């Protein structure tokens, strides 16, 4: 066997169940009524809840109060209208009551007749990103204040 032939080399295989459970992002599936029916280990670990406690909860109950209002008034209607949304900033609340800033992508799964079967959500931890954004805004404010003083 030649080391230069990529076809002859053994490639690692990916276990799809492990990929789902231990992905570098959270996965959630919710019913049309908003109830969580599937959640991956990554997301349940981030929130500090055993998976069994998340399944059956209303999605919006996992959000902070501002996130609930914004989701119900803006993102849920957008999702119903176009069937997806991308890069929505929301805050979940962990079991310990700590805010978890995230970015969420969502897409609706529809049947052959166009009926809404369920919604898939992909959740990305945005803690570091939000901290960086706050630091940028603080620095910008300080620079503007210095500009006024000059």
What is the tens place of the pLDDT at every residue in 7-65? 567 777 788 999 999 999 999 999 999 999 999 999 999 999 999 999 999 999 999 99
- pLDDT at residue 137, as a whole number: 65
In a domain, 18, yes or no: no
> Is the pLDDT reported for residue 131 higher than 70?
no
In a domain, 137, yes or no: yes
- pLDDT digit string, tens, across residues 68-121: 998 899 888 989 999 999 999 999 999 999 999 999 999 999 999 999 999 999
> Is the pLDDT reported for residue 3 higher than 60?
no
Arithmetic mean of pLDDT over the chain? 87
- pLDDT at residue 5, as a whole number: 60
**Whole-prediction pTM:** 0.77
Q: 135 or 104: whose pLDDT is higher?
A: 104
Instruction: Tally the C-alpha atoms within 13 A of residue 14's C-alpha that lie toward its C-beta.
Output: 6
Q: Domain of 76? A: 24-149
| Mean pLDDT value across residues 119-127 | 94
The residues that bridge with 104 in the sheet, in sequence order, are 88, 123
In a domain, 57, yes or no: yes
For residue 2, what pLDDT band results from cuts at 50, 70 and 90? low
> Is the pLDDT reported for residue 126 higher than 60?
yes
In a domain, 42, yes or no: yes
Which residues, in sequence order, are CB contacts of 40 under 8 Å at separation 6+? 20, 21, 22, 23, 26, 27, 28
In a domain, 72, yes or no: yes
**How many structural domains is the chain composed of?**
1
CATH of the domain at 109: 3.30.450.20
Comparing CA positions, the residue from 85, 119, 118, 117 lying closest to residue 104 is: 85
């Amino acid at each position: 066997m030649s080391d230069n032939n990529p076809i002859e080399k053994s490639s690692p295989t990916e276990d799809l169940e492990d990929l789902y459970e231990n992905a570098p992002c959270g996965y959630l599936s919710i019913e049309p009524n908003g109830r969580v029916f599937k959640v991956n280990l990554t997301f349940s670990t981030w929130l500090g809840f055993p998976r069994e406690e998340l399944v059956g909860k209303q999605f919006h109950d996992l959000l902070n109060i501002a996130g609930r209002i914004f989701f119900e008034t803006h993102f849920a209607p957008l999702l119903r209208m176009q069937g997806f949304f991308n890069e929505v900033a929301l805050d979940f609340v962990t079991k310990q009551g700590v805010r978890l800033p995230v970015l969420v992508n969502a897409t609706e799964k529809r049947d052959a007749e166009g009926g809404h079967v369920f919604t898939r959500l992909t959740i990305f931890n945005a803690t570091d990103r939000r901290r960086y954004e706050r630091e940028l805004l603080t620095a910008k404010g300080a620079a503007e204040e210095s500009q006024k003083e000059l």
